[in-house]
Amino acid sequence: MFVRVAKDICPRCVQEIEQEFLKCHDYLRDHPGATVIEIHEGTGVSIKQIEEFVKEGRFQFARGEHLDYSCERCGRRIKKGRFCNVCKKELFQEFSQLTDETNEEPESPRPWGPTRGFVIWERRQQQMDE
C-alpha cells in the first residue's frame, strides 16, 4: 500500500504517525465523544498531532461534536476549515479592501508635451542616416 502525503515525511515517520492515528482511532472507538485533550491523555499522542488528524478529516467515523482544533489566525477553537468565522470575516474585509485599492482608476497618462515624441523619432532618424 502506498501512502500519499503532501509533506516531506520519511517512510519511517509516516509509519509512526499511522501508529499514533491507530491509537487515537481505537481510543475514540472505545470512548465515543472524547475531546482532543481526553484523547491526548488516554493515548499519549500530542495534541498537535491529534488536531492534525481532525483537520485532515481522519476521524469521520466519530461523532465530531467534541473534536476541534485551533484557528490558524487567532487560536479560537473551531470544528472545520482553517479559520474561525470572526477571522474569516476580517480576512474577507482585508482582502476586499486590497482588491478595491487595486481596482482604483490608474493614474492618467502624462499629457503629451509640445514634442509629442518627435524628439525621439528625430534622434532615431539621425542615427540611421549617419
Ordered by start, the domain boundaries in the chain are 11-91
Mean per-residue pLDDT over the chain, rounded: 82
Residue type, 63: R
pTM given for the model: 0.60
Residue 33 has what pLDDT?
86
pLDDT of residue 1: 42
Which pLDDT band holds residue 127 (cuts at 50, 70, 90)? confident
Distance (Å, rounded) from C-alpha 59 to C-alpha 22?
11
Neighbours of 50 (CB within 10 A): 27
Digit-coded pLDDT (tens) for 62-112: 665 678 888 999 999 888 888 999 999 999 999 888 887 766 666 666 556
